[in-house]
Amino acid sequence: MEIFVIKRGILVMLSAAWILSACNRSSPPLPPDVEQVGDGVYLFQSSTHRSLFLVTNDGVIVTDPLNADAAADYRSAIAAVTDQPVKFVVYSHYHWDRVSGADVFTAEGAQIIAQERCAQRFRDNPNPAVVMPDITFENEYQVSLGGKSLDLFYFGPSHGDCLTVFLARPANLIQIVDLVEPPHTSFPDNPNVPYVRPHNLREFFAQVQTLTEENGVTQVLASHIKRVDNGNDEPQPSPATAPVTIIADQARFWNEIYAAVETARAEKNIGIDSFVKLKTIDLEPFESFDGYRKEDLPVIMRRFVGFYDMGR
């Protein structure tokens, strides 16, 4: 416990020092749709989305353009922060709500980077709004500019088949788009969880855990923005960061799903319709997750029943 408190103390001091040094710089005020979260690291906001961009003395690395309208705003927001050109656009995964509209960046010469399975998905299921990648990678790739980098890691299917984990250096901030969402661990909005890949989700989180431990990562960046009602005044925008422990907490949700389905199979508590019988589920492990809905648990678990029974 003491170690935890000391660590928190160091964290608080570090962030206070960083804010002071940031304030001392005579930079223009940020536009309302941009937040600075670390050394050269910014989040652009559009509607309910946040996208990370990294500003260096040798150009800008952009992630997830979202859509054509958002990308035009994104470009203007970057121009309010720096005169540097955008040199790279990195896609986090293949879902169109994150990766449409990169034309505004390629028009100025930016190259698109994506994991190779994302590129395959765009070939198999093309969308004219999605610009094809120029550069693909298999497991790891470092996008390096001006002494900073955005390091890309592919740990197998998780949220879709090609979700790429972002690690911004030297700020040492991690972002796991659409799967780990500050400020709280979450219960799935869509109980059918069509994006989840049960055959690799445990392995994915284990590898993310190793990555964060080996690099001493302490903070996770949001990829969404929502209004948080704190009981007084107007609902506030959700914070841009959360402690890295949110990753292990989110992994625990999925591990509890696997465990509950394994138990249900062993005890023959799964109906012919592949639904785990709700009254046999121990609800306690799930109740603390943001957005918890008891009645959705059998639907979420059905996806995992299919994995165990059919390998899908």
Closer residue to Zn ion (CB): 151 or 178: 178
160-199 footprint of Zn ion as x/- string (CB under 5 A): ------------------x---------------------
**Taking the complex as a whole, how short is the minimal distance between the CB of residue 159 and Zn ion, in angstroms?**
6
Nearer to Zn ion, 95 or 197 (CB): 95
In the bound state with Zn ion, the residue whose beta carbon lies nearer, of 158 and 185, is 158
**Residue numbers 5-34 binding Zn ion by CB under 5 A:** none
Measured from the CB of residue 95, what is the shortest distance to Zn ion in angstroms? Answer: 4
Closer residue to Zn ion (CB): 56 or 67: 67
Q: How far is the CB of 210 from Zn ion (least distance, A)?
A: 23
Smallest distance, Zn ion to C-beta of residue 101, A: 16
Taking the least distance from each CB to Zn ion, the nearer of 95 and 302 is 95
Residue 25: how many CB atoms within 10 A of its CB?
Answer: 6
Select the residue whose beta carbon is closest to Zn ion and give its number.
95
Task: State the minimum distance, in angstroms, from the CB of residue 156 to Zn ion.
Answer: 16
Ranges within 87-146 binding Zn ion (CB under 5 A): 95
Distance in Å, CB of 289 to Zn ion, minimum: 19
Distance, CA of 15 to CA of 251 (rounded, Å): 27
Applying CB under 5 A, does 35 fall inside the site for Zn ion?
A: no
282-291 long-range Cβ contacts below 8 angstroms, 24+ apart: 285/252, 285/256, 285/260, 286/187, 286/253, 286/256, 288/185, 289/184, 289/185, 289/186, 289/187, 289/253, 290/184, 290/185, 290/186, 290/187, 291/186, 291/187, 291/188, 291/189
Q: Number of residues in contact with Zn ion, rule: CB under 5 A? A: 2
Residue whose CB is less far from Zn ion, 195 or 289: 195
Chain positions contacting Zn ion, by CB under 5 A = 95, 178
